[in-house]
């Protein structure tokens, strides 16, 4: 069984709002999605799926902050509607003993995480499924025992991280294969739970670890996959039988196409492993779709990536699988949205054959253990993965596991309760992440007195991230005021402006430490009101930073004269500029720490350039790369820089992990061969050529910023067909005529 559904996002993000984007998606039924080509409005494409949800508009907030339809005629579909159709189907499969999988696919910012996790009062499918599962357990037959375990992992750059473990294993957890179990993650923690509150706390803990890891590794969560697995076992005590289901809930990385976010034209375009999983997932889905249509398929490439290994059963085996295709209705996202719809259309062709997972309680457990023990000597028993050794006294073992989990949960809950008390009374820094799901997860409290902040473990406030020094800044809480002082030349930005001396903080000040670690300052209780903190998102920080550096829409020429409507192409350039600003800062920091000696800075190509007729040339954002020692200059396109940034992150992570980071020069993302670059242009009037007249002038050679790069001395004189200078006293020769 495979269900496909499309869902457009609840509202525009700031990028789409600022670019003045238009809606190109329409849904005329609960199954039909129509997309309109913004360049040719009469050209449309229609897609048919099992379900199609309209969440873009037609909604309002109720008193609890939940999005609901504005009126009965509205086609708006809220979180409860999605859960009713999809979440209950997952639960129904689990109760009947089927494995169930839910995948959320789409470009970054399209609403994948909103559908899966939700935001605020608008809970997504995952919390609703977990809460409803325990609610149903409470009303079930007491002659059954119900066992629920919860695990949470992240896949980034082909490495698996356990989000419920506070210790990071170098190189990540290993994915192994078993004949009966298939692929599994060795050493992954699976926590027993007996109520929804425990799962809620575990998700908070996992999100916090994910946020910390994202900051430490300098890895955007939009480029990682998150997999939550709920193992649900029903033990029928009167019949000595078990029925088991594995529920996999997968929030995939952003699916931006390579042309928009990648590496065309770069010699190192095959180097990055960041997008390997999604690429191979597409290959697997295409192969399975071809097989479903009766085409001859020699090989399904499950083993090509970590993600496809772990999803093998979900994609082409024993699972009831649902794919959510999250799309943006904005015209600036047309290509990505069309790609997502086509991806979902291929996946719709796949059909799985799920079976009920039942077994006897004791007989198969003993048989399995006996088989394992016979197959190897006592010396190898310790090497077996824990998931393969089944405990015959299952009931006692489960009760013991629950008690251990309960004790750990109580300790964790005490820490959370303490943090909540401090939040209400003490000034603190609140992290702001590019991913809204990870914003507000980390809180650093500024207690009375003075405290240092930085990477060193001895600091009262321990910070992670690029450009954060061991002792980066000091915070002073005294006499009802909080002051921040940078240490030495450490980078501290307050409200978009770099500071070098002690500065007083005010409630809701925006602080950036190092390259791009963003925090919102929450002041004393007396300063606080009923502000909407959500408006101070990641984009707000970057726009403020750009404005402080003198970069604005007006400067780029988006508004012409008295025009109220801005030029969409220039707005898109501005959005690209703001998006790349923090990435360039991070790349410069990595270059500095690795001793590469490169300086990278953003430039707008053709910012003040025009063609021979005086029309503005098309603008685009580029990155100027300068070698500080040799003064050689390279110009990288946006796509090339983003690809190099991925490779730099991998290179830098190996450096942090203490691995050998030496690579051959041609594989170094910080190196490029010398190349010809376009420095600028000069306009010369050629009217004199029509009259074969001598022309001499000095003209300005302007770079892409419209600034004078040089002065060219131009001297044009008539000449003969052989290149000989012809005197004005010889008009026949000038005209090419013989005497």
Backbone torsions φ then ψ of 106, nearest 5 degrees: 155, 170
Kindly write down the DSSP assignment for every residue of 41-77, as one continuous string. EEEEEEEE-SEEEB-SSSEEE-TTS-EEESSTT--B-
Q: Is 272 annotated as a binding residue?
A: no
Q: Is 113 exposed, middle or buried, given 0-12, 13-18 or 19+ CB atoms closer than 10 A?
A: buried
Closest CA to 327 of 336, 314, 318: 336
> How far apart are the C-alpha atoms of 671 and 32, rounded to whole Å?
49
DSSP category for residue 665: G
The first and second tokens of residue 671, run together, are 């190196």
> How far apart are the C-alpha atoms of 484 and 264, rounded to whole Å?
44
Q: Is 349 annotated as a binding residue?
A: no
Q: Is 111 annotated as a binding residue?
A: yes
DSSP category for residue 567: P
Q: Is 113 annotated as a binding residue?
A: yes
> How far apart are the C-alpha atoms of 704 and 678, rounded to whole Å?
9
Q: Is 112 annotated as a binding residue?
A: yes
> How far apart are the C-alpha atoms of 718 and 690, rounded to whole Å?
11
Q: How many helices and strands, by DSSP H and E, does the chain display?
A: 17, 36
Backbone torsions φ then ψ of 577, nearest 5 degrees: -60, -50
Q: DSSP E strands: which ranges in 499-647? A: 503-505, 510-513, 517-522, 598-605, 620-627, 633-637
Other CB atoms within a 10 A radius of the CB of residue 118 amount to 19
Is residue 638 within 8 A of residue 623, CB to CB? The reply is: yes
Q: DSSP E strands: which ranges in 19-174? A: 25-26, 32-37, 40-48, 51-53, 59-61, 67-69, 100-105, 118-119, 122-123, 144-156, 159-162
Handedness of CA 466, 467, 470, 475 (dihedral sign): negative
Q: Is 108 annotated as a binding residue?
A: yes
Annotated binding site for ATP: 106-113
Annotated binding site: 106-113
């Amino acid at each position: 069984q495979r269900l496909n559904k499309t869902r457009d996002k609840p509202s525009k993000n700031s990028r789409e709002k600022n670019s003045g984007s238009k809606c190109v998606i329409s849904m005329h039924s609960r199954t039909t999605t129509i997309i309109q080509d913004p360049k040719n409005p009469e050209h449309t494409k229609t897609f048919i799926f099992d379900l199609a949800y309209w969440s873009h508009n037609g909604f309002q907030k109720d008193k609890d902050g939940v999005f609901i339809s504005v009126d009965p005629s509205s086609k708006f579909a809220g979180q409860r509607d999605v859960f009713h159709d999809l979440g209950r189907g997952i639960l129904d499969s689990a109760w009947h003993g089927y494995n169930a999988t839910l995948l959320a696919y789409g470009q970054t910012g399209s609403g994948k995480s909103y559908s899966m996790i939700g935001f605020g009062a608008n809970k997504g499918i995952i919390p609703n499924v977990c809460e409803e599962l325990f609610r149903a357990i409470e009303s079930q037959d007491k002659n059954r025992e119900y066992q629920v375990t919860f695990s949470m992992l992240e896949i980034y750059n082909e490495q698996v991280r356990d989000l419920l473990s506070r210790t990071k294993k170098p190189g990540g957890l290993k994915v192994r294969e078993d004949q009966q179990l298939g692929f599994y993650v060795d050493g992954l923690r699976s926590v027993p739970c007996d109520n929804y509150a425990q799962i809620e706390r575990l998700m908070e803990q996992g999100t916090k670890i994910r946020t910390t890891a994202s900051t430490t590794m300098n890895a955007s969560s939009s480029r990682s996959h998150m997999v939550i697995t709920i193992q649900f076992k029903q033990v029928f005590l009167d019949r000595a039988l078990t029925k088991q289901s594995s529920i996999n809930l997968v929030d995939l990385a952003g699916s931006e196409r390579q042309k928009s976010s990648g590496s065309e034209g770069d010699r190192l375009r095959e180097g990055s492993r960041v997008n390997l999983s999604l690429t191979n997932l597409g290959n697997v889905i295409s192969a399975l779709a071809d097989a479903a249509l009766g085409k001859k398929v020699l090989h399904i490439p499950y083993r090509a990536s970590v993600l496809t290994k772990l999803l093998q059963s979900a994609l082409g085996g024993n699972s009831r699988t649902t794919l959510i295709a999250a799309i943006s209705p904005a015209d600036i996202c047309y290509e990505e949205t069309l790609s997502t719809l086509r991806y979902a259309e291929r996946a719709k062709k796949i059909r799985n054959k799920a079976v009920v997972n039942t077994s006897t309680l004791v007989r198969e457990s003993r048989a399995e253990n006996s088989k394992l023990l016979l197959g190897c000597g006592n010396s190898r028993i310790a090497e077996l993965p824990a998931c393969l050794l089944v405990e015959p006294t299952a009931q006692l073992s489960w009760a013991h596991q629950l008690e251990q989990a309960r004790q750990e949960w109580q300790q964790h809950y005490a820490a959370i309760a303490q943090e909540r008390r401090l939040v209400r009374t003490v000034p603190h820094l609140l992290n702001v992440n590019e991913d809204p799901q990870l914003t507000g997860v980390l809180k650093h409290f500024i207690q009375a007195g003075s405290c240092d902040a930085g990477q060193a473990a001895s600091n009262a406030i321990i910070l992670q991230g690029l450009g954060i020094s061991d002792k980066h800044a000091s915070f002073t809480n005294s006499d009802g005021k909080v002051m921040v002082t940078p240490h030495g030349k450490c980078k501290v930005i307050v409200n978009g402006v770099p500071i070098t001396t002690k500065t007083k903080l005010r409630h809701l000040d925006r602080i950036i430490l190092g390259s791009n670690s963003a925090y919102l300052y929450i002041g004393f209780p007396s300063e606080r009101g009923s502000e909407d903190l959500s408006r101070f998102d990641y984009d707000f920080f970057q726009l403020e930073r750009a404005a402080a550096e003198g970069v604005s829409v007006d400067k780029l020429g988006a508004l012409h004269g008295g025009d109220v409507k801005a030029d969409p192409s220039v707005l898109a350039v501005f959005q690209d500029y703001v998006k790349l600003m923090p990435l360039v800062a991070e790349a410069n920091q990595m270059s500095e720490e690795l001793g590469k000696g490169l300086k990278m800075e953003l430039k707008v190509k053709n910012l003040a350039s025009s063609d021979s007729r005086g029309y503005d040339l098309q603008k685009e954002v580029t990155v100027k790369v300068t070698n500080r020692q040799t003064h050689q200059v390279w110009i990288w396109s946006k796509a090339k820089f983003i690809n190099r940034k991925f490779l730099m992150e991998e290179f830098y992570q190996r450096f942090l992990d203490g691995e050998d980071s030496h690579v051959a020069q041609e594989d170094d993302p910080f190196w490029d061969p010398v190349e010809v670059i376009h420095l600028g242009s000069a306009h010369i009037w050629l009217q004199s050529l029509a009259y074969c007249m001598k022309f001499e002038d000095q003209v300005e050679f302007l770079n892409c910023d419209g600034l004078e790069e040089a002065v060219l001395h131009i001297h044009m004189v008539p000449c003969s067909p052989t290149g000989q200078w012809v005197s004005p006293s010889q008009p026949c020769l000038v005209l090419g005529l013989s005497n």
